[in-house]
A and B are shown apart, each in its own frame.
Chain A
Amino acid sequence: MRFQTVKSALVGLLGDNAAGNFRVIGYRGQSHDASESTGDNRTVQVFYTSGDFPASSSNRNGSKTHDMTFDIILTASSAAASADLAILANADSTARALTNAIENIQNAAEIADNAIDEMISLVWNVIMDARNANLGITAFTLSSRKIERITKDATPDKGGLVVKTAGLTLKVQAAEPVDGSTGVTATGSVTNSEIKISDDTVTSTGVV
């Protein structure tokens, strides 16, 4: 179906425009360590989640209007807080410089939150760019594409390893042609049997 084309086009489009800011990965069912998605290793995944076929705008025969919903999942994390260590580690630093450096320590949660915000902006701008209106597929295949909602996890984070996720809900409308495929015809099974006749040689017979 056409949503598969749209999904792979989305993955390709985001991958081409990542410019070292994030990685576009395929399906990942297994949980992973926070340190795998820190810094520029922030990850993007694309899932087709649902499809609506409005009855009023579909033909009885022929192609149907397909309102596709894609979830674009963003993951960013931070493994540590950050500070000006050159000042903090220096025994000759003045109390004023030390006070300032301590005051400016950025928490891991704050770093991860900023990273995911930046990523939402990057991905949103790639998809909504007028040059990407067709998401890289042949023009006029898609009737519309828009990001309907952005969600972000709001769980308070504790500790030095902080994982933040965000989701962008993308709605794409396209005509879904019915290609009439009837599936693959199974090949007939082959049964080998041996018939043993006394005082004779063994004969193998193949029956299809």
Chain B
Amino acid sequence: MENLRAAIDHDLQDGIEGEFAQAATLLSPDGVRYTERGIFSITSKRIDPSTGETVIVEAPVLTLRTSSLTRIPAAGEKWHVFVNSAHYVLGSDRAPEKSGIGFTRFYLQSLEAVE
């Protein structure tokens, strides 16, 4: 019988890499590509500090299972992320948030071509 940690990891695999998952290609600062599957959300709810209203803001977040990563992006490293036919950059804004139960949230920033 598997231990509790392994059971959680299996559950996460079902949840994060299941039917709602999207393929994401992560490009490390040294030019190596890693293909992962995870949950991607492009908007999130925030409180506007000036009015107190809840607003929907564009803040892409990619959630991946930590144990599925070959290399975990360190804080301060810039990674290029390609998901859902769009380009994003990781690490220019907010450090990845690693949870105790085995998933990591990556806060991305939209990327446009240099004019």
Residues of A in contact with B (beta carbons under 8 Å apart): 31, 79-86, 88-89, 93-99, 101-103, 105-108, 158-161
Q: For residue A107, which residues in chain B have a CB less than 8 angstroms away from its CB?
A: 89, 92-93, 109
Q: Which of B29, B82, B108 contacts A102 (CB 8 A)?
A: B29
Q: A31-B51, A102-B79, A158-B94 are in contact. Are A81 and B109 (CB under 8 A)?
A: yes
Additional pairs, 20, CB under 8 Å, beyond known A88-B87, A98-B31, A102-B31: A79-B112, A80-B109, A82-B113, A83-B89, A84-B114, A85-B112, A85-B113, A86-B113, A93-B31, A95-B31, A96-B31, A98-B27, A99-B30, A99-B31, A102-B29, A102-B78, A102-B80, A105-B80, A108-B110, A159-B57
Q: Tell me if B's interface is mostly helix, strand, loop or mixed.
A: strand
Q: Are A85 and B111 in contact (CB under 8 A)?
A: yes
Query: Which residues 1-44 in B have Cβ within 8 Å of A in the complex?
Result: 27, 29-32
> Who on chain A is nearest to B30 by CB?
A99
> Who on chain B is nearest to A88 by CB?
B80
A79 to B89, CA, bound (A): 13
Report the interface size class on chain B.
Answer: 20 to 34
> Who on chain B is nearest to A86 by CB?
B113
- How many pairs, one residue from A and one from B, have CB atoms within 8 Å of each other in the complex? 90
Q: Are B93 and A158 in contact (CB under 8 A)?
A: yes
Q: For residue A88, which residues in chain B have a CB less than 8 angstroms away from its CB?
A: 27, 80, 82, 87, 111
Q: Are B87 and A85 in contact (CB under 8 A)?
A: yes
CB distance from A177 to the nearest CB of B (A): 41
Q: Are A99 and B29 in contact (CB under 8 A)?
A: yes
Q: Are A105 and B89 in contact (CB under 8 A)?
A: yes
CB distance from B70 to the nearest CB of A (A): 16
Which residue, of B27, B29, B32, B79, has the highest number of chain A Cβ atoms within 10 A? Answer: B27
B58 interface contact, C-beta 8 A:
yes
Which residue, of A86, A99, A105, has the highest number of chain B Cβ atoms within 10 A? Answer: A105
Please encode chain B, from 79 to 115, with 1 for each CB lying within 8 Å of some chain A CB and 0 for all others: 1101000010100111000000000000011111111
Q: Are A83 and B87 in contact (CB under 8 A)?
A: yes
Q: For residue A96, which residues in chain B have a CB less than 8 angstroms away from its CB?
A: 31
